[in-house]
């Protein structure tokens, strides 16, 4: 490891370097100008195992130098020795607060220097090994999480392919809803991980429709009251299909399936929840789902223009929809229009997750 030595007196540096050279694995580099030492520290931070600095120096004293070293990425915990002829308690306290690890009092003999530095280099190496081990664990955890997420996506994809056999529009619909929910999550400042999870879970919002008879699901005209009641069962059925899993994304998907037809004013189904009693996930998918339904041609209706659908969301914010979610969705209007254009051109929808 490198030992950075700083003293404005060249002779003091020669003594310090001569004392350190016998130490195995210790390569001293000395400087007389603090700015040069800091430039070296920034360039070789990963190699530095200890910093040794004099206190009395023109321009920048040892305390200021240690503070500057501590601000360099990778050197926040490297051992730092301050060498001084002063023995004031207040000075040592200030040095400790600045980040000094130990002190050497002038004149220090070679034996004491090597003993102090040997111990602190061992501490530095232990800290380096701990940091490397923590980084390795973080990489392993990230790999494991990515594997779990990939397996969850495979499960969701398989489930959604089964749903597509019931409704030819389902695949495109769930892709668009997933993309819109991703935009809403980003606008509401959810973390990237939360956004990915929300977007993936949203793809399963209508999974309960696999239990709806074809005569109702594919009917080109208006539904009778009895057929409407049967169709509305898909929310609770979807929740039951997805519930009971230990997977966070499946639990979120169950929440969405059971709540995305609730309305802000309490007139929705299946529970008639009101306002913030409706899970946020359900409120987000409600906006995305209705917007896509309005702008898509269905057997029983023509597609609305994006502007007309936008106006509908604004008019029904506070009754059907959570106003905050509507505002978040409309704040990403340019991206919404891009998604719509891609869909019209027959191109695959972007992966919002």
pLDDT exceeds cutoff 60 at 169: no
Q: What pLDDT shows up at residue 163?
A: 62
| 48-57, 246-255, 317-326 — most confident range | 317-326
pLDDT at 345: 45
> If pLDDT is split at 50, 70 and 90, which confidence band does 258 have?
very high
Which of 47-61, 76-90, 112-126 is predicted most confidently? 47-61
pLDDT value of position 224:
92
pLDDT given for residue 161 in this prediction: 64
In whole angstroms, what is the distance from residue 191 CA to residue 186 CA?
A: 7
**pLDDT for 131 beyond 90:** no
Calculate what percentage of the chain has a pLDDT beyond 90.
Answer: 55
In this prediction, residue 162 has a pLDDT band, given cuts at 50, 70 and 90, of low
Contact yes or no for 229/186 (Cβ under 8 A) = no
Residue 344 has pLDDT above 60, yes or no: no
Residues 6+ apart with CB under 8 A from 198: 181, 182, 185, 190, 252, 281, 284
Say how far apart CA 3 and CA 203 lie, in whole Å.
57
The C-alpha atoms of residue 79 and residue 102 are separated, in whole angstroms, by 8
pLDDT band at 136 (very low <50, low <70, confident <90, very high): confident
| Residue 152: predicted pLDDT | 74
Q: How far is CA 286 from CA 59, 164, 168, 212, in A?
A: 64, 20, 21, 20
What would the mean pLDDT of 210-221 be, rounded to a whole number? 82
- pTM beyond 0.85: no
Q: For residue 165, what pLDDT band results from cuts at 50, 70 and 90?
A: low
What number is the average pLDDT over the span 309-314? 97
Q: What is the pLDDT of residues 57-105, one digit of tens each?
A: 988 999 999 999 999 998 988 999 999 887 778 888 899 999 999 998 8
**271 has pLDDT over 80:** yes
pLDDT at 289 over 90: yes
Strands 102-105 and 48-54: unpaired
Of 193, 272, 196, nearest to 232 (Cα)? 272
180/292 Cα distance (integer angstroms)? 9
Q: Are 312 and 294 in contact (CB under 8 A)?
A: yes
């Amino acid at each position: 490891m490198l030992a950075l030595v700083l003293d404005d007196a060249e002779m003091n540096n020669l003594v310090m370097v001569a004392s350190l050279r016998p130490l195995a694995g210790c390569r001293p580099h000395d400087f007389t100008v603090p700015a040069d030492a800091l430039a070296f520290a920034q360039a070789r931070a990963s190699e530095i195992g200890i910093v040794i600095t004099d206190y009395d120096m023109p321009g920048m004293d040892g305390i200021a130098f240690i503070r500057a070293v501590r601000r360099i990425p990778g050197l926040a915990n490297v051992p730092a020795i301050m060498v001084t002829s002063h023995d004031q308690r207040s000075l040592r306290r200030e040095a400790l607060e600045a980040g000094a690890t130990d002190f050497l009092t002038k004149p220090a003999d070679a034996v004491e220097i090597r003993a102090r530095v040997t111990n602190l280099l061992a501490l530095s190496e232990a800290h380096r090994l701990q940091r490397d081990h923590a980084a390795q664990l973080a990489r392993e955890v990230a790999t494991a999480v990515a594997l779990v997420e990939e397996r969850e996506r495979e499960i969701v994809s398989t489930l959604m392919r089964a749903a597509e056999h019931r409704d030819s529009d389902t695949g495109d619909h769930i892709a668009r809803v997933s993309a819109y929910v991703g935009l809403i999550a980003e606008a509401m400042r959810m973390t990237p991980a939360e956004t990915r999870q929300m977007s993936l879970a949203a793809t399963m919002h209508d999974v309960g429709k696999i239990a709806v008879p074809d005569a109702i699901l594919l009917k080109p005209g208006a539904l009778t009251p009895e057929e409407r009641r049967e169709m509305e069962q898909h929310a609770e059925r979807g929740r039951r299909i997805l519930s009971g899993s230990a997977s966070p994304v499946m639990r979120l998907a169950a929440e969405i399936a059971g709540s995305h037809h609730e309305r802000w004013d309490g007139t929705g189904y299946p529970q008639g929840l009101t306002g913030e009693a409706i899970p946020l996930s359900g409120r987000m998918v409600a906006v995305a789902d209705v917007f896509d339904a309005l702008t898509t041609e269905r057997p029983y209706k023509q597609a609305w223009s994006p502007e007309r659908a936008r106006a509908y969301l604004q008019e029904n914010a506070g009754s059907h929809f959570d106003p905050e979610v509507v505002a978040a969705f409309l704040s990403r209007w340019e991206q919404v229009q891009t998604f719509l254009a891609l869909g019209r051109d027959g191109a695959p929808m972007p992966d919002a997750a």
